[in-house]
């Protein structure tokens, strides 16, 4: 999953969470629920959304195959044995392959670095 796809996925999750909250609140209001119960439900929803956001912070972690490229600008190609990423030039944009079915990722490692020019 590319970074733009991950962002789109997170937007869809956020929209779904908002719709669930709206449905819960309108159902509770129709049933005459107290404001304390509504506040408790809203706090639970905030915790769930917050915990999902914390999980996506892993995307910027150096151990995640696509996040590796952001932190290692001199690496041209890297892999976790399931996903392979590459960039054309040092520090430039990069793209990654899709993960294979039932693949077991290993530690991310650089397989090709830029060659520094000598003066």
Q: Higher pLDDT residue, 12 or 98?
A: 98
Q: Percent of the chain at pLDDT above 90?
A: 18
| Consecutive H or E run containing 108 | none
Assign 58 a pLDDT band (cuts: 50, 70, 90): very low
pLDDT score, position 51: 61
How far apart (Å, rounded) are the C-alpha atoms in residues 92 and 73?
8
The count of other CB atoms within 10 Å of the CB of residue 65 is 21
pLDDT score, position 100: 82
Strand partners, 79: 84, 109
- Residue 76's nearest CA partner among 106, 107, 110 is 110
Assign 116 a pLDDT band (cuts: 50, 70, 90): low
């Amino acid at each position: 999953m590319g970074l733009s796809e991950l962002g789109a996925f997170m937007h869809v999750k956020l929209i779904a969470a908002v719709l669930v909250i709206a449905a819960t609140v309108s159902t509770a209001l129709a049933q005459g629920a107290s404001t304390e119960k509504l506040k408790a439900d809203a706090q639970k929803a905030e915790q769930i959304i917050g915990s999902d956001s914390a999980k996506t912070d892993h995307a910027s972690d150096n151990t995640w195959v696509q996040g590796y490229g952001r932190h290692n600008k001199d690496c041209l190609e890297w892999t976790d044995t399931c996903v392979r990423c590459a960039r054309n030039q040092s520090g430039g944009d990069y793209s990654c392959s899709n993960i294979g079915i039932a693949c077991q990722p290993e530690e991310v490692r650089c397989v090709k670095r830029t060659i520094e020019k000598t003066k």
